[in-house]
Structure 1
Amino acid sequence: MNSEIFSKLHIDVARNSTDDFNLFHDSKKWGRINRNPFAGPIVMGFQLESLVEGKVADFRRKLGEERLIAEHGLHFSNYQFTFANAVKPGQHVAVEIKQSQFKLEPEPVLSNRIAVKADGGLALMGFKKETARPLVTGKPDLLGIGEMRIQPDRCFLPNGYFLKRKFMMNSNAKNFLCGSLRDQSEYIDEIQDVVGFPELFPCALLSSALLEKALKWQHDFERNPMVYTSHKISIDRRLLAELRSNDALHILIKPAANCAEHDFGDLRATPLDYECYGLFRADNALLFSAEISLVPLETILQAMAASA
Structure 2
Amino acid sequence: MNNSDSSDVFHQIHIDVARNATDDFNLFHDRNRWRRINHNPFKGPIALGFQLESLVEHKVFLHRRLHNENLLISDNNLHFSNYQFSFVNAVKPGQEILIDIKKSQFKQDPETMLSNRITVKSGGALALLGYKTESKFALFLPNPHIPQCGVLNQYPDRSFISGSSFFLKRKFITTSNAKNFLCGSLVDQDAFFDHFNNKAVFPEIFPCSLISSALLEKAVIEKHDFERNPLVYMSHKISIDRSYLALLKSGDALYILIRQIPPEERKEGIGHAIESPYHYECYGLMEDKTILYRALISLAPLEQILNTLK
Instruction: For 2:132 and 2:307, locate their aligned partners in 1 and report how far apart those are by CA, in whole Å.
Output: 31
Q: Quickly say closer, same or farther: Cα 1:107–1:41, change in 2 above 3 A.
A: same
Instruction: For 1:80 and 1:234, locate their aligned partners in 2 and report how far apart those are by CA, in whole Å.
Output: 9
Give the corresponding residue for 2:32. Answer: 28
| SS class of match (2:60) | helix
Give the corresponding residue for 1:264. Answer: none
Q: Tell me which of 249, 253, 256 is aligned to 2:254.
A: 249
Give the corresponding residue for 1:17. Answer: 21
Q: Tell me which of 195, 213, 216 is aligned to 1:190.
A: 195
CA contact (8 A) 1:271 1:296 kept: no
Alpha-carbon deviations, 1:154-192, whole Å to 9, x = none?
000121100000000000000000000000011111112
Q: Quickly say closer, same or farther: Cα 1:114–1:165, change in 2 above 3 A.
A: same
Give the corresponding residue for 1:114. Answer: 118
Q: Tell me which of 272, 280, 286 is aligned to 2:286.
A: 280
Give the corresponding residue for 2:167. Answer: 162
Amino acid at match of 1:280: M
Give the corresponding residue for 1:40. Answer: 44
Give the corresponding residue for 2:56. Answer: 52
Identity of aligned residues (%): 57
CA contact (8 A) 2:263 2:277 kept: no
Structure 1 unaligned regions, length at least 5 = 260-268
When normalised by structure 2's length, the TM-score is 0.93
Amino acid at match of 2:10: F
Amino acid at match of 2:41: P
Instruction: For 2:69 and 2:151, locate their aligned partners in 1 and report how far apart those are by CA, in whole Å.
Output: 38
Matched, 1:62 2:66: yes
Give the corresponding residue for 1:301. Answer: 306
Give the corresponding residue for 2:269. Answer: none
Instruction: For 2:244 and 2:276, locate their aligned partners in 1 and report how far apart those are by CA, in whole Å.
Output: 35
Q: Tell me which of 190, 200, 206 is aligned to 2:205.
A: 200
Matched, 1:218 2:228: no
CA contact (8 A) 2:171 2:254 kept: yes
- Describe how 1:60-209 pairs up with structure 2 within 5 A: 60-136=64-140, 137-143=142-148, 145-158=149-162, 159-209=164-214
| SS class of match (1:141) | coil
Instruction: For 1:201 and 1:147, locate their aligned partners in 2 and report how far apart those are by CA, in whole Å.
Output: 24
Matched residues, number: 294
Report deviation, 1:46. Answer: 0.2
Report deviation, 1:112. Answer: 0.2
Instruction: For 1:153 and 1:146, locate their aligned partners in 2 and report how far apart those are by CA, in whole Å.
Output: 15
Alpha-carbon deviations, 1:21-42, whole Å to 9, x = none?
0000000100000000000000
Matched, 1:240 2:245: yes
Instruction: For 2:300 and 2:204, locate their aligned partners in 1 and report how far apart those are by CA, in whole Å.
Output: 25
Misfit runs of 4+, over 6 Å? none
Q: Quickly say closer, same or farther: Cα 1:64–1:80, change in 2 above 3 A.
A: same
Alpha-carbon deviations, 1:61-114, whole Å to 9, x = none?
000000000000000000000000000000000100000000010011000000
Instruction: For 1:43 and 1:204, locate their aligned partners in 2 and report how far apart those are by CA, in whole Å.
Output: 13
Instruction: For 1:237 and 1:211, locate their aligned partners in 2 and report how far apart those are by CA, in whole Å.
Output: 26
Amino acid at match of 2:286: F
Report deviation, 1:138. Answer: 4.3
Instruction: For 1:238 and 1:88, locate their aligned partners in 2 and report how far apart those are by CA, in whole Å.
Output: 35
| SS class of match (1:111) | strand
Structure 2 unaligned regions, length at least 5 = 265-274
Alpha-carbon deviations, 1:100-140, whole Å to 9, x = none?
00001001100000000012210000000000000012413
Matched, 1:7 2:11: yes
Instruction: For 2:261 and 2:281, locate their aligned partners in 1 and report how far apart those are by CA, in whole Å.
Output: 6
CA contact (8 A) 1:78 1:234 kept: yes
Instruction: For 1:202 and 1:270, locate their aligned partners in 2 and report how far apart those are by CA, in whole Å.
Output: 26
Report deviation, 1:304. Answer: 1.2
